[in-house]
């Protein structure tokens, strides 16, 4: 783009536009595209670019419905640069509404004019119509059926139907609506170094060193609170530069959802035990297990990808977890040691449908055809984990998805074929998180629990 146009278009919009094109035209991941495009922006523009880009990616389904109505043609018939400009402009006009309409429309037209062969006139016409009629169109959308809910809440129809059938209409609607809200930022205090209360106090200490009053603490420019049910959790109520913190570099914490923290706590390893963690990268759960074991015993962390295994090693070093041993290997293969582990964590790759809040583009990547394929891989890893567990040992199976094919049906099939294993009643220990209609399992739901969606099942070998 010519330098004169770079000067006239707001930097945050220019960045967000480039991210949209990378995601939808080149298949890039939204977070990686944003890091590449926003590297030269200041903090304020980078934050706005992230809101614009992630929001427009998440709301693609609804935005395309508006485009089809106002442009009177299917979005896939539009030139990609024009479509990206429309999605970006419509998102800001209809969902952010923080800038003057003329500025939003003008920048979108300039983006389409500079990078599209034609169509900037269409961008101008559609966005101007949206300033007059767009809100009324959004207000007319209903979610009385899965198909209508998919448009209103911007999810693929197959996800809407899946949750409608498995969770019920009301929960499905609330879950889809929640997926478009900002995800919670939680930190796990590394108890090998500190505790949650001390971490919150250190994070909150400003120039005066005095924490905020009233049971909450100021973390820089944000507020934070502790979770009474998870001793390590510190929940932040605003943005925070995790990797820019000296406390992060000192290994005092790791960013981790509260739902993910429940996984290691459900396994409940004891100091001195031998624990196997399959599919362990990036290391949040491995290092949590190590901390619960007070740095003694052994956590053998298996990761197939050598690069990710290296990241896991560095995470264990930063978090002062000397009892984590990393091994590059295939988690689906039987362990050569045999059934010698006291506890096993099986946290296999999954569809990730419980993390749509935090992963803007994931809903458009996953297809229903992938779920049975993933379940076969998950079942193989679960069987390998079960084979490594000593008699009397404990195994936890967890995923960050809301999909019966990968969760409760998979566990039911495993128990049918492995009579030496029984299901613990985790729902009795965590009644607020119980999976309605399914005894024993725990399922966190983003709209209800304000954290990622995780399925957790705990099994014991007789």
Q: Which is catalytic among the residues 15, 279, 350, 400?
A: 400
As a whole number of angstroms, the distance between CA 266 and CA 284 comes to: 15
Contact 285, 312 (CB under 8 A): no
Whole-Å CA distances, 116 to 106, 121, 321: 15, 11, 52
Helical (H) or strand (E) element with 419: none
Tokens representing 250? 């000192």
As a whole number of angstroms, the distance between CA 363 and CA 359 comes to: 8
Annotation says 400 is catalytic: yes
Helical (H) or strand (E) element with 132: helix 120-140
Closest by CA to 426, choosing from 285, 267, 230, is 267
Closest by CA to 46, choosing from 3, 11, 91, is 11
Nearest-5° angle of CA 329, CA 333, CA 338? Answer: 100
Tokens representing 302? 């298996």
Q: Which regions of 107-175 does DSSP assign to beta strands (E)? A: none
Active site residues: 400
């Amino acid at each position: 783009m010519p330098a004169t146009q770079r000067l006239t278009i707001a930097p945050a919009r220019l960045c967000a536009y480039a991210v949209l094109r990378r995601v939808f035209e080149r298949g890039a991941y939204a977070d990686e595209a944003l890091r590449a495009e926003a590297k030269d922006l200041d903090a304020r523009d980078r934050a706005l670019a992230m809101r614009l880009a992630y929001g427009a990616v998440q709301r693609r389904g609804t935005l395309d419905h508006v485009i089809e109505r106002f442009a009177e043609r299917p979005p896939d018939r539009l030139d990609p640069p024009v479509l990206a400009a429309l999605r970006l402009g419509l998102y800001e006009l209809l969902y952010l509404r923080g800038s003057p309409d003329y500025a939003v429309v003008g920048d979108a037209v300039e983006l389409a004019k500079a990078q599209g062969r034609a169509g900037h006139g269409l961008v101008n016409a559609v966005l101007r119509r949206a300033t007059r009629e767009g809100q009324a169109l959004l207000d007319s959308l209903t979610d009385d059926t899965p198909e209508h809910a998919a448009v209103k809440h911007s999810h693929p129809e197959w996800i809407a139907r899946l949750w409608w059938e498995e969770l019920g209409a009301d929960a499905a609607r609330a879950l889809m609506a929640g997926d478009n809200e900002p995800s919670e930022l939680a930190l796990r205090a590394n108890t090998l170094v500190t505790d949650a209360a001390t971490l919150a106090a250190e994070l909150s200490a400003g120039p005066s060193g005095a924490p905020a009053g009233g049971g909450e603490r100021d973390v820089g420019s944000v507020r934070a609170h502790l979770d009474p049910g998870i001793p390590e959790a510190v929940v932040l109520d605003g943005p925070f530069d995790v990797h820019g913190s000296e406390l992060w570099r000192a290994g005092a914490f790791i960013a981790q959802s509260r739902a993910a923290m429940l996984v290691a706590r459900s396994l409940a390893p004891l100091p001195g035990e031998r624990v196997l963690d399959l599919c362990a990268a990036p290391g949040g759960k491995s290092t949590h297990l190590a901390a619960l074991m007070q740095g003694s015993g052994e956590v053998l962390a298996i990761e197939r990808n050598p690069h990710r295994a290296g990241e896991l090693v560095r995470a264990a070093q930063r978090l002062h977890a000397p009892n984590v041993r990393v091994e590059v290997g295939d988690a689906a293969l039987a362990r050569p040691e045999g059934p010698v582990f006291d506890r096993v964590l099986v946290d296999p790759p999954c569809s990730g449908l419980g993390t749509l809040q935090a992963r803007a583009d994931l809903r458009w990547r996953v297809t229903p055809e992938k779920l049975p394929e993933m379940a076969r891989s998950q079942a193989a890893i679960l069987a390998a984990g079960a084979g490594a567990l000593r008699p009397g040992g404990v195994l936890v199976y967890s995923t960050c998805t809301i999909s019966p094919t990968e969760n409760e049906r998979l566990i039911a099939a495993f128990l049918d074929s492995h009579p030496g294993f029984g299901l613990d009643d985790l729902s009795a220990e965590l009644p607020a998180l119980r999976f309605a209609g399914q005894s024993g399992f725990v399922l966190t739901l983003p709209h209800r629990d304000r954290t990622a969606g995780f399925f957790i099942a705990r099994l014991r070998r007789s």
